[in-house]
Structure 1
Amino acid sequence: MTATTGPRHRAPDRPPRVRGLPEFGRCAVMGVVNVTPDSFSDGGLWFDAKAAITRGLTLIEQGADLIDVGGESTRPGAGRVDADEELRRVVPVVRELAAAGAVVSVDTTRVEVASAAVAAGARLVNDVSGGLADPAMAAYVAESEVPVVVMHWRGHSRGMQEQAVYSDVVAEVRAELAERMDKVVSAGVHPDAIVLDPGLGFAKTAEHNWPLLAHLDALHDLGRPLLVAASRKTFLGRLLAAEDGTLRPPRGRDDATAAVSALAAAAGAWAVRVHEVPASLDAVKVAAAWQEAR
């Protein structure tokens, strides 16, 4: 029996609490600030530190519960930047947004960047590699007692799509996430400090992303909150493609992103990670009201 054909698990009435973070009372909305020149979603609009800070403050004003700051593109095929450059991009933005009262997450796979960002005020480490890219990450997170997002990951962006091979994507992602979580806990990270992310688009095709979204329930029995990061991703562009097959461009995928936010929230997600906050904030509020009325 596979995860996609097995019994359905009931979404939790309230996602488990994340140690060290506020309780939001509903599915949280995490706003994205890409301090990169080559982001697939915004084309480097926020690459300048001042622009990135302004963007983060705007997302806060719009109601974002958390702000996720990243300095390295993880789009399929992207190359890596060196650690010094990632630090230069990220730390000033984290410092200013944290000083403004934001709950800041740092999107990085490097322990030196995570450490510097936490020192600057970040309260969550969002490691898309789940601790695999930097063997020192889990020990750092354990020692610093900062919560961490452990994402399903099979390799760096440049070659990750070659790893998009599954016989049952839901069962395999669940098993690999469980293994990653066990490794992180073995390194000393408190289980209550872990958030899990199925890694939509990371070593996954569109045909893999949809079953994962439809079967978030299969991940709930791992016992940790789920972060869903579907915003503007290619599988939405493919769904919304023109008749000639031309993909809907990233900025034209925000309505579809909000629809995913509503469905993910109704399925018990702890947070959704999005580029545009207002519509997804409305969506998760609708989902919360829907759940309360059941």
Structure 2
Amino acid sequence: MTDTLVSILISGTPLVYVTLAGVLAQRAGIWNLGLEGLMIIGSCALIVGIVQTGSFAQAMLIAAGLCVAASALLWWVVERLKANPIIAGLGLTGLGLGGTSLAIQALYDSEATVTAPFGIPKLNSLTSVDLGAFGGLSVFVLFMPVAVWLVWLLLERTRLGLQMSASGEHPFAARSVGVNPGRMRLLALALGGVLCAIGGAELAGGSLQIFSQNMTAGRGFMAFAAVIFGAGSALGATAAALFFAVVSALGIRAQLMYGGAISNDLLQSLPYLATIFGVWLSTKLRGGLGSIRGTAEMRD
């Protein structure tokens, strides 16, 4: 049971962080399909940053800076050039996947996996008490519930969060009371960039200390699906992301127990099948994507 819970936390933590980034963007009026690209930029930047600088703090700052810059690029393309947000987001994903591969090739003249000498500090380093199997989890796992609460608090209980949501739902009304929807979207994407950097860093430097090409393996799209499943709510989207993590952990467990009797390909596809089912169920229950708040056209 403990091993299963640890597995859920390992697979679910990076997904939750990236899902929260998607929630912020969606509430501000942008369906962010660039989550996959931002996540892999964070993964690559952390590992390469640790290798190059020997400092976790500096590597994390590099990862956050690059993800915020990429998010600002998405905002500029969507807000200033009036590009379709879906197409622009997919373009950012392609930029992240291709750009990280090119960066590894340029830095190391190879496409091989990059291994860091250390990763994210573990919970055991914070206390002298033996935490058992949980002690090997990263500090970002401990901070994850706090991040969920902070995003919920921002969106549901602060003036800034209400302005952000109004910019997504009713941009004309928001402007009429002095709110700049463009700035709100930039803020939402920038905050999301930081969260994606943390999620990508957790994926590469949490339980592992490596970066390999395409290692996100569609997790950014799973996070996007969790936003839809959770109807743009921070708590609902987090629950959806953890549901996908549970399915993933059960799939890994099933591979260990029934690997010889059940096709490994089928077991590995379970999280993605759950994602498809979740999106289908969400749209059926709510009557389509148009019923989810924060999907107003960006006509301002």
Q: TM-score, normalised by structure 2?
A: 0.29
Q: Which structure features the higher share of strand residues?
A: 1
Q: TM-score, normalised by structure 1?
A: 0.29
Q: Which structure features the higher share of helix residues?
A: 2
